[in-house]
Amino acid sequence: MKLAILILSLVSAAAAQSKSPVSDVLREMLGGREKNTVGAFEEMPADKYEYKPTPDQMTFGHLAAHIVEGNYYFCANAGDVPQPKTEELKGTEGKDKLVAAVKASFAFCHTALEKADDSKMSSDIKWFDGKPKARAWAFLGLASSWADHYGLAAMYLRLNGLLPPSAKK
């Protein structure tokens, strides 16, 4: 709910100046989300990439792979650009490869979101279940996944006695 209120307030402020305020807000959010998320995966020691708080949760390495997949999917759909063919990650590839993949997925988001345009938000995309949904779902899914994924990474760091990037001065 708080994320939705934040997005709406940012959109309201940007609306007076732009024809694509939602796209502008995503582009504005990208740098900070990238910095914190990449920083979290750089902070975690390599030997903790198999860490998971409970047996039912994903490992830290799987979270990295999940973020990569999400960034490519949501940014391609928000920007109405083709999703690049990339190696499917399992989350067991090791810290160096996973950090590089997270960075590459955010680099793709920079390129894809440059093409994002609010006038296309009502056009259909293919959702995870194969059914059509309005492109607006990709915009909102991207913003919420960035928050959710970083929050999870921050929790994993704290559970291992490490301070998340957004908590550092």
Set out the domains of the chain in order of their start, with CATH numbers. 2-167 (1.20.120.450)
Q: What is the tens place of the pLDDT at every residue in 39-92?
A: 999 999 999 999 999 999 999 999 999 999 999 999 999 999 999 999 999 999
- Position 121 scores a pLDDT of 96
Q: Is the dihedral of CA 135, 100, 169, 62 positive or negative?
A: positive
Output the six-digit token pair for 116: 């994002």
Answering whether pTM is above 0.85, one says: yes
Report, as an integer, the average pLDDT of 12-39.
88
Phi, psi angle pair for 59, to nearest 5°: -75, 165
Confidence of residue 10 (pLDDT cuts 50, 70, 90): low
Phi, psi angle pair for 37, to nearest 5°: -70, -50
